[in-house]
Amino acid sequence: MFTTKQLIRAMFDDSTDEAKLLIAATAGEVELFAENKSWNAVLWLIMNVLKEDGRPIYTGNELGELRSSLPIVWR
């Protein structure tokens, strides 16, 4: 099961082993699991760091689509 730190590394640093696992999961080679609270941490990071003119660059719907598109089983 991915920890919050591992999930963040997988999503934001493509040179990490976690990112390689995420790519392998996309190809159906492995199955990844993460806790819902880890998604909440990623969500907080995206909403508070990725901003343009002081406003988040992603809408709630876009973030929901991102979560759904990740090859992760949320627990």
Q: Tens digits of per-residue pLDDT, 26-64?
A: 999 999 999 999 999 999 999 999 999 999 999 999 999
Total of domains in the chain: 1
Instruction: Confirm whether pTM is higher than 0.95.
Output: no
CA distance from start to end of the chain: 9
- Residue 62 belongs to domain spanning: 4-74
Q: What does the pLDDT read at residue 26?
A: 96
What pLDDT does 19 receive? 98
At residue 9, the pLDDT reads 97
Q: Give Cα 5 to chain centroid, integer Å.
A: 10
